[in-house]
Amino acid sequence: MSKGSNAKVLKKITDRLLLGNTTFQREIPIDGTYGLIESLEECLDLSIYLAAKLVELEEREPLEYKSYNLIKQRVDRDEYNEREK
């Protein structure tokens, strides 16, 4: 049986923590070392990486990954199709 998605996600997090331990020769500090501004800047960086990946996917698979397709998935399919006729 293959690993469940939660186990895969936990492994990714664990692997990343271990990489940080090796790189910085310590565990992640929980002593206020990283402040709110640094954390928010990291989130901003993440949004940039995610937007870049979305652009890459849209260019690679235009019909499958276009942003409007994501919106269509949230709308009732029948209702959407009726409006588009």
Contact (CB, 8 A) for 22 and 12: no
Taking the model in full, what pTM does it have? 0.55
Q: What is the pLDDT of residues 22-70, one digit of tens each?
A: 999 999 999 988 889 999 999 999 999 999 998 888 888 776 666 666 6
- State the amino acid at position 41 in one-letter form: E
Q: Rounded to an integer, what distance in angstroms lies between the CA atom of residue 61 and that of residue 67?
A: 12
